[in-house]
Chain A
Amino acid sequence: MDAQLVAMQLLSGVSLGAVLIMTALGFTIIFGMLRVVNFAHGALFMIGAYAGLFIAERTGSFWWALLLAPIGVGVLGLVIERLLIRPLYGRSPDDPILLTFGLGYVLVEGVRMLFGSDGVPFSTPPALVGVVNLGIGFFPLYRLFVIGVVVFILVLLWLALEKTKFGLVVRAGARDPQIMQVLGVDIRRLWLIIFGIGIGLTALGGLLAAPMRSVSPEMGTIVLAEAFVVTVVGGMGSLIGAVAAGLLVGIVVSMTSLFAPEMATIAMFALMALVLLIRPQGLFGRAGQGA
C-alpha cells in the first residue's frame, strides 16, 4: 500500500466524481427549480449517448456530436415538459414521479426498437486516445478531458447563474415562484427552459460517458441510482452540493474499491442512507427541505 497507489486511487476517485457530477447535474437542476423528480433521467442520459452516436456517424466527428447532441436532446426535453409535465403542475407532487417512471420505460423501449437491444460500439475520438504518464502512473487522456469538460460546464453555469439577468430570474424563481409570477415573469416559460437545459446537460453526460461505458439501452439504469445518491447527499437543488457530493461519492467508492471492492456500490447507498437519516436536506441543502 504505497503512496503512489493511493494517489492513483484518489485520482480515479476524482475522475469518477467528475462523471458522477455530470450525471447528477441535470437531475438536481430540474429538482431544485421545478420540484420534479425525473425518473426518466437514466433513459435521457442513454438517449444522449445514442444521439451522439447518431450525429458522430453522420458527420464523422465527435466534436460536432458534442455540440449538437445535447442541444437536440434538450429540445426533446422541451417537448416532454410542455406536453407531459406541464399538465401536472398544481397536482399532487407525486404525479411527476409516476409519469417520468412510465416515460423511462417508453424511452428505453423506443431506443430498443430503433437501434436494437445490442450494445453499439462507440470509440474514443482519435484525438483523445491514449494515456498520459502522470508520474504516479498512466491515466487515460479521455478521462482527463472529461474532468476538463465538467469543470468548464460548471464554471459556465456558475457565471450564468451569478452574473446574468437570466440567472437572477432563475434563482429567484427557485426561491419563490409565486412572487415571480406576481412580478410579471412567465414562470411557466422559465420552467420550460430550465427543464430543457437540465435534459441537455443530462444528454451531455451520456455522450461523455459513451466512450467509457458500452452504449446500450440499459446503460441508464445505474445512472438513475447514481444521480439519486449524489443529489440526496449534496442537497436537492444545490449546485455546489452536487459538485461536492459527486466528488465525495467518487472518492468514497474509489477508496472502498481499494479495501473491499465488492462493497463499492453498497458504500454508495449506505452513504445516501446515512445522510438521509442524519441530515435529510443533504450537505448543502436548505434546512426544512427534508424534514
Chain B
Amino acid sequence: MTERKTTRYTLSRRHMTAALGAAAGLGVIGMPWVARAQAETIRIGFPTPLTGPFGAEAKDQVKSAELAVKQFNDAGELNGRKAELFVRDDKLNAGEAATRTLELIEKDKVHAVVGALSAAIQLAVNEVTRARGVLYISISQSDSINEVKDSSRFTFHEALNPHMTTAAVVKQTFKKGMKIAYLVADYAYGHEMLRGCKRAQTAIGAESVVEILHPFGAPDYSTFFPRINAAKPDILCICNFGRDQANSIKQAVEFGMKQQMKFVVPVLLHNQRLAVGPDAFEGVIGGANYYWGLEDTIPSAKAFNDAFRAANNGAAPTDYGAYGYTAVRSLLQAMTIAGGTETDKVITALENLKYDIAKGPQSYRKCDHQSIQSVLVLESKKKSDMKNDVDFFRVVASDVGSEALLRTCSELGFPA
C-alpha cells in the first residue's frame, strides 16, 4: 500500500526531472547539429559484396574508395566539408542490394551511391536510386546499364562495358581470315561479350567456326571441348567471368588445347589469375580497366599506386579495386566544382568533368553517362618472367579512350 502512494509522487517528480533533462539534453545534442548544418558531411553510400565469392574484389574496392575519401578530406576543399563512406554488405544478392540501397537513402540519407559488383546488382541498385532521384555511379561491367531502358540522368557508369573491352581485345588479337571458337557463359553478360566480339570480328574479317553457350556456373567444361577441338580454330575466345573463367581456362589447358590455339578472354581478371596460378594462365590475352604496371608510363597511375601502397602495407591496387578509387574521386571532384551536394549541379559537373586520376584521361559521355577511358590489353606472364609476386601481366596495348569504342547513342535507344 505504502509503495503505491509514494510511487505516484515519485513518478511525477521523476517525470518532471526527466522532461527537464530531456530538454537540456536535446539542447546539448541539438546545438552542434545546428552548427554542423553549415558544414554537413558528404555521405556516399557504398554497397559491395563483402560476403561471398567476390569478397576479395569487394574489399579492394572499399580500400580504394576509402583512399579517395581520405585524400579529399585531407585536401580540405569545399570549406573543409568532410566526406564519409557508408559501406554496406550486399552479399552479392540483388534483393539485399536493393534493401541496403533503400536503407542508405531513407535512413542514412546519402547524397550519392557508388558501387555494386555484377550486372544484376548494379541494375538493382540503379532501379532504386533513379526512382528517388539519387545519383549513382556504377563500378562493374554491364552493357545494359548504358541502354535507355535502364539508364537515367542520375545513372553514371564508371566501369568499362563488354562492348569496349571486346573491341579493344579483338583489335589486338584477331587477324583477317582467322577461325574463332567461342565458349560463352549463357547469361546476359556472356551474351554481351559474344555480341561485342562478333561485331569486332566482322570488322576485321575473321570468322567464327563454333559458338558454345555453357550453363552459367558449370563446374566441368570437358564435354564442350571435343566440338571445339574438331573445328580446329586459331583462337579460343572464352567469354565468361569469375570462377567460370578460372575453371574453363584450367580445364582447357589440361586438355592440351593451348598448344593448338590461342586463348583470348574479353576480361582478364587479377583474382582469377591469382586463384589458378601462372602456368595455366600463361599466354592468355585479355582486357582490363587497370593494372598497377601502368605506373611505368602513366604518372597518375604511379601517384595512385604509391598512395595505395602507403595506406595498405605495400600492397598494389587490383583492377576492380581501382574502380572504387576512380568513381569516388571523380564524384568528389564534381562535387567540389558544383560547390556542394545538390544533385542537379553535381550531375552537370560530372557530365563536363575531365579527369585523370589513375589511368589517363577520362570523361563521361552525355547521353548514357558512360566513362570514356582507355582499355588495357594484357597478356599473362609465365612464371619465370615474373619479377615479383604480383607481376602477373604484360601490357600489350593501352589505347587512349575515345567515343569510337562505344556504341552510338542512337543505337542505345537515346533520341538523336
Contact = CB atoms under 8 A, between A and B. Distances in A.
Chains A and B come from one and the same complex: yes
A9 B222 CA distance: 9
A112 B55 contact: yes
A131 to B, nearest CB: 4
Nearest to B257: A138
Contacts of B343: none
Given A116-B56, A119-B275, A124 B254 contact: yes
B55 A254 contact: no
Interface in A129-171: 130-131, 137-140, 142-143
A261 B218 CA distance: 11
Contacts of B217: 222, 265
A12 B219 CA distance: 14
Interface string B128-167: 0000000000000000000000000000000000000000
Interface string A231-243: 0000000000000
Interface in B216-235: 217-220, 222-227, 229-230
Contacts of B222: 12, 15-16, 143
Contacts, number: 123
Interface string A205-230: 00001011111111100110000000
B246 A140 contact: no
A216 B243 contact: yes
B156 to A, nearest CB: 28
Contacts of B224: 257, 261
A118 interface: yes
B341 interface: no
Contacts of A258: 223, 226-227
Contacts of A2: 230
A85 interface: no
A111 interface: no
A104 interface: no
A137 B186 contact: no
A123 B55 contact: no
Interface residues of B, number: 37
A262 B213 contact: yes
Contacts of B56: 116-118
Interface residues of A, number: 49
B276 interface: yes
A250 to B, nearest CB: 9
B255 A140 contact: yes
Given A4-B230, A140-B256, A214-B276, A13 B223 contact: yes
Given A137-B229, A139-B255, A118 B213 contact: no
B220 A121 contact: no
B250 interface: yes
B326 interface: no
Interface in B23-76: 52-56
A2 B256 CA distance: 21
B212 interface: yes
Given A140-B255, A262-B213, A214 B250 contact: yes
Contacts of A12: 222-223, 225-226
Contact of A214 (B52, B226, B255, B275): B275
B61 to A, nearest CB: 14
A253 interface: yes
Given A8-B230, A16-B222, A140-B256, 5 more contacts: A12-B226, A119-B243, A214-B246, A222-B219, A266-B215
Interface of A: 2, 4-5, 8-9, 12-13, 15-16, 19, 112, 116-121, 123-124, 130-131, 137-140, 142-143, 209, 211-219, 222-223, 253-254, 257-258, 261-266
7 contacts: A12-B226, A118-B271, A119-B246, A140-B255, A214-B275, A222-B219, A261-B214
Q: Which 8 A-B pairs have the closest CB atoms?
A: A119-B275, A117-B55, A121-B277, A8-B226, A257-B223, A262-B213, A131-B256, A265-B215
Interface of B: 52-56, 186, 212-215, 217-220, 222-227, 229-230, 243, 246-247, 250-251, 254-256, 271-272, 274-277, 279
